[in-house]
Amino acid sequence: MVAVILILSSFGYAGYSFWLIQKQYLNSETKVLNLENGLSVSQKNLSELKSEYLTTLELLKNEKQTNAYFEEKINTISSTVGILEKLSKIDSELLKKYSKVYFLNENYIPPRLTDIPTNYLYVKDKPLQFHADAYPFLQKLLDASITEGVPILVISAYRSFGTQAYLKSSYKVTYGIGTANKFSADQGYSEHQLGTTVDFTTQVTGSNFVGFDKTDAYKWLLANAYKYGFVISYPKQNTYYSFEPWHWRFVGVALSARLQNENLNFYFLDQREIDQNLVNLFD
Ligand SMILES: [Zn+2]
């Protein structure tokens, strides 16, 4: 009997324990489910947040690109405006090729002329003028020639249309029309009317005009004038015009350096190619 009671009660206890455990299991299962639910909600929030973040990032990136694009555009436009503004202030005649078919207008006068100091002049009491913007380059050239022992002087510089006409007719009277045409460009064709052209000479006897190519000063100019933006307009053996060793024109340092390096002559370059240097004329 006792044994039966013991067996029954142990069954009862086992049943109770099983019920307890089962209840605990169900509780934890519910908790797990709740947690899982919570987790999936958070995961959903997280992925929504993530996609929102990515969209914002993308928008921001696009915005940045648009800004960079506009910034670049603005920079390009302002640099173009800068170049155009600079160009608008430079007289395009200053780099034109002149010939017997294309010449400077008789009314042309350089906007600003400056007196060349008398110490640089061959004839001290005959004032000469030069283009004011190009004058600093001329002065540097003349000073360098003095420093390097081949002092160069200026015998002619700016000539108005009227002066050129007068000069030409006086040459005609003195030398006859044929000879005058050879060494004095026809009135108005002359580069002297630009104000950026000079005739050089020295104190050495016989170095004026046709004798100038025998001087050290001439050799010095051939080797150095380009550093100051000057070129010989009508060099030896040019087919354009007769040889004028004394006659030098300011065309800007960039262009003169190119002509020197490539052994080219101003009058043999294409006008369009020459004009590309206009913006740097006084640099
Ligand atoms: Zn000349």
Give the Å distance between the CA of 103 and the centre of ligand 1.
Answer: 15
Expressed as residue numbers, the domain containing 214 is: 92-280
> What confidence tier does 2 reach under pLDDT thresholds 50, 70, 90?
low
Domain check: are 85 and 96 in the same one? Answer: no
Give the Å distance between the CA of 280 and the centre of ligand 1.
Answer: 24
Of 47, 73, 89, the last residue of a domain is 89
- Looking at residue 140, its pLDDT comes to 98
Ion ligand 1, residues whose Cβ is below 5 A away? 199, 247
Of 71, 89, 107, the last residue of a domain is 89
Domain check: are 45 and 165 in the same one? Answer: no
Domain check: are 97 and 164 in the same one? Answer: yes
Domain check: are 72 and 100 in the same one? Answer: no
Q: What is the pTM of this model?
A: 0.72
Average pLDDT, stretch 213-220?
97
The count of structural domains within the chain is 2
> Which pLDDT tens digit goes with each residue over 40-76?
777 888 888 888 888 888 988 888 888 888 888 888 8
Domain check: are 44 and 138 in the same one? Answer: no
Residue by residue, DSSP assigns the chain as -HHHHHHHHHHHHHHHHHHHHHHHHHHHHHHHHHHHHHHHHHHHHHHHHHHHHHHHHHHHHHHHHHHHHHHHHHHHHHHHHHHHHHHHTS-GGGG----SSS---TT---S-EEEPPGGGBSSTTS--EEETTTHHHHHHHHHHHHHTT---EEEE----HHHHHHHHHHHHHHH-HHHHHHHSPPTTT-GGGGS-EEEEE-SSTT-SGGGGGGSHHHHHHHHHGGGGTEEESS-TT-SSS---TTEEEE--HHHHHHHHHTT--GGGS-HHHHHTTGGGTT-
Of 65, 89, 113, the last residue of a domain is 89
Domain check: are 81 and 99 in the same one? Answer: no
- Looking at residue 188, its pLDDT comes to 40
> Which pLDDT tens digit goes with each residue over 128-168?
999 999 999 999 999 999 999 999 999 999 998 887 777 76
Does residue 221 surpass a pLDDT of 80? yes
Query: For residue 112, what is the domain's CATH number?
Result: 3.30.1380.10
